Structure 1
Amino acid sequence: MIKTAFRDEDVSWTHVSVWLHRFKDGRTFVEYFERCGRPSSSSNDEVIAKVRDLVTACRRLLGK
């Protein structure tokens, strides 16, 4: 059934094993849970500008 669903795309045994364990634990859907940590929208114009300023300052300090 997995080969039918994914056709030519390679699905590793490790990935299938993870799915199997999740479904055995009672998970009945394939959507991902929200996870804690850095948000996917962490790169915005403000952050990019701050990083650019830090890199420029470090170059000045190092004399490059």
Structure 2
Amino acid sequence: MQSVVKSPERYIRKASYKDKGPMLKETRELLTSFYQPFNEKMAELTGDSQFLYMDTS
């Protein structure tokens, strides 16, 4: 575990990627719909409702 903690960061997003702006609403809806059953199963398995990602907007 210490090797993981002490290892250098990898796959850091470049500034140019961050400048692309917010995710399209349609993209967010598509991803939310796709992952919903998996998130529900994870919430059930762990007993943690944070995996349900309720829309707060």
TM-score calculated relative to the size of structure 1: 0.30
- Counting helix residues as a fraction of each chain, which structure ranks higher? 2
Larger radius of gyration: 1
Higher relative contact order (CA 8 A, sep 6+): 2
TM-score calculated relative to the size of structure 2: 0.32
